[in-house]
Amino acid sequence: MRQMMNTAQDRPEPGTYDVVVIGGGPVGGAAAQRLVRGGMSVALVEAELVGGECHYWACIPSKAMLRPAQARLAALRSPGARESVTGRLDPSAVLARRDDAVDHLDDTRIAAGMKARGMEVIRGRGRLAGPRSVVVDAGPGPQIELSAGQAVVLATGSLPVLPPVPGLAEALPWTNREATSAVVAPRRLVVLGGGAVGLEMAQAWSWLGSGQVVVLNRGPHLLPNHEPFVGDLVLAGLQAAGVEVRFGVEVQRVLRPAAGGEVLVHLSDGSVVAADELLVAAGRRPPTGDLGIETIGAAPGRWLEVDPTLQVVGAPGVYAIGDVNGHALLTHQGKYQARVAADAILARRRGEEPSFTADADAAAVPQVLFTDPEVASVGLSSRDATARGWRVSVVEADLGAVAGAGLHALGYAGRAALVIDEDSQTLVGATFVGQDVADMVHAATMAVVARVPLERMRHVVPSFPTLSEVWLELLDAYFLQRRSTPS
């Protein structure tokens, strides 16, 4: 399809575009690119760095920080390669590679690429002034007023939650941004939160030189939304990396007596943990407090409710994609929504009903926790499926027992599980834990989304000797279990 470039003949009036996208991260950029390819003029409004949170302060830098240590561990688990590893991890080299991966927090390259694809990049903080109207605060001078002939797309991401703990805000804690951009490992680090950000960064900084890393987890188990074995395996990996995890504790108050001095974290069990930095990884919140959504009848400060085409409910012509709608706070799911929304806008311009609607951003979401061991999962856990009233069976297998695992790493430790809907005889969830399991989840994602019957999956033969052979173990276990269960 021809990529539309504005010419003297087809350039719209100043400030008028077919679509205005607020948010220049990977989600907003994906929508804008698809719309431009479809022949629309698009203005992309970004208040910070073009490329967004994921590229500069989240997915990309965190994985760049984790990968070198994981590669070293993989070599140490492979006799022959193990003997060649004679030195320690070089933190300065790791952080230099991270800085290269995030373009040294310079968005020139990404912004130029977007412009070259035909988007108009407008720098400033955008907000709605009505269903098809956007105002941009670009600093000194009057606001920029933009009109959208077809649609406005909100792709503003999310913001970190800062719990209302006395003294916490005054202690200037780290969020994911500081955790992924710091240039020196803190000697002592306390992490508030046992989710993906907290656990990945705890392990990363322990590998990169922090002498003491303590994770504070409110509940009695890590990662309780996953299958029960997940938390135990991840805990063992954290402990092997030198990370301490404290369970069943809450932060009561935080003190930082001197700027740049140590942080004192007072806990519900009466103890006090001293640290040089405190990372708060306690979830995300919608950035809709000052987005102008009251002009379309939505409540500021809340996630935006959308229909299956990602159009905001009650606001024709306004779409909300990615974190801002609260469906699945993951970059890949946001980019999926971007494709759905862009195709819906293009279809409606042609006077057609959209045929590509979002049905895989609720119960078929893949995600990977890039700790050592990795956790790759998709769909519903057994607990979630049961809570929905589904009649499910769960089968598990020792991932370390398959031939491919033994060749992959000495002493490979891992586990896998499938959650099966007994009424439809299809897969509704899958979990893999172990070294290098991230890419295993895509096969399970296709099975969940496509609702492949289990009888057909028995004919999907994995190559030998690979980790994927665990699928044979899981399916055999299920059908053996089924035959032995009275009907």
Extract the annotated binding site for NAD(+): 193-200, 283
| CA–CA distance, 283 with 161 (Å, rounded to integer) | 5
Closest CA relative to residue 168, chosen from 77, 281, 333, 12: 281
Annotated binding site: 63, 126, 156-158, 193-200, 283, 323
| CA–CA distance, 369 with 118 (Å, rounded to integer) | 35
Q: Give the type of residue at 188.
A: R
Contacts 24+ apart (CB under 8 A), 11-14: 11/41, 12/41, 12/149
487: exposed, middle or buried (C-beta count within 10 Å: 0-12, 13-18, 19+)? exposed
**DSSP designation for 9:** T
Omega into 354 within 30° of 0, i.e. cis? no
Omega into 373 within 30° of 0, i.e. cis? yes
Helix or strand holding residue 428 (H, E): strand 426-434
Q: Specify whether the CB–CB gap between 252 and 282 falls below 8 A.
A: no
Locus of tokens 């100043």: 14
| CA–CA distance, 236 with 372 (Å, rounded to integer) | 9
Annotated binding site for FAD: 63, 126, 156-158, 323
Closest CA relative to residue 319, chosen from 107, 152, 487: 152
| CA–CA distance, 368 with 380 (Å, rounded to integer) | 14
- Which residue spans within 210-298 are E strands per DSSP? 212-217, 243-247, 251-255, 263-267, 272-275, 277-280, 284-285
